[in-house]
Amino acid sequence: MPDAPAHAPLLSTRCLRKRFGERVVLADVSLEIARGEVLAVVGKSGTGKSVLLKCLAGVLAPDSGSVLFDGQPLGRGRPAALAAFRRRCSYLFQGNALLDSLTAWENVALPLEQTTLLPKAEIRERVADALRRLELEGDARRYPSQLSGGMQKRLALARALVTRPELVLFDEPTAGLDPLRRNAVFTLIAHARREFGFTAVVVTHDLPEALAACDHLALLDRGRIHFSGTPDEFAATADPVVSAFRDSTAALARSVAALRAGGPLEPAEDLG
């Protein structure tokens, strides 16, 4: 199976569609993720961001369209390509999905034990390295319930990276976290990308952090990629859909100021 050219995107979709009953979630999604970049997929709640990520990961099968990894189409009719993709990709779940009955060490070792034929000595070496890089080497014998929320996030990332994937998919990695911890998670992703050299797709609601930490942004709106570009391009565009999403905090401030002054309110944002 020939490798894709070095300049080709590592992961791409073409005309991806997915519906659940009468509800169309992904209407026509075409997207390219360059090698080595961190792409943030943003958009309002319910626009299908997590569904898109699950289609990228092969967890959900699209109704039509295609997903290509390293130039090779994926799908249930291509089991060898899908198996190769899963060996080269990791998925970081929104809730971390750590196993409470296993220690930190055992959680990180699990994907190597289940998906590789590596000798035990190399597994020990890789686990120790992943824990050390994420500053958890002193917590190897502790259970997830004995770790703070931030440490659990680092442990989940260590487990995702121990297989040395080329691609990591993050599903709302900062869900439920306060602003300081959100910043810490995005800093952790940027640091880990530099250390391990992976490509990343991050589904997130946290626009300021995504603008600061990611190389590329894609805005999903009404089942389509409405905008794709750099953070600077996202910040500068006058596109009304982008500006409504990007400037919602400023619009809230204006509405509250008008309410306090007894003046007319701006129209309410469409919640979709």
For 149-172, write each residue's pLDDT tens digit. 888 988 998 898 899 899 999 998
What's the chain's average pLDDT? 86
Tokens of 264: 């007319």
pLDDT at position 155 is: 92
Under 8 Å between Cβ of 40 and 218: yes
Q: How distant is the alpha carbon of residue 193 from its chain centre?
A: 13
Domains and CATH numbers, the chain: 10-88+172-226 (3.40.50.300), 99-164 (no CATH)
pLDDT at position 230 is: 95
For 120-148, b/e burial (b = at least 16 CB within 10 A) is: eeebeebbebbbebbebeebbeebbeebe
pLDDT one-digit tens code per residue, 61-76: 999 999 999 988 887 6
pLDDT at position 205 is: 86
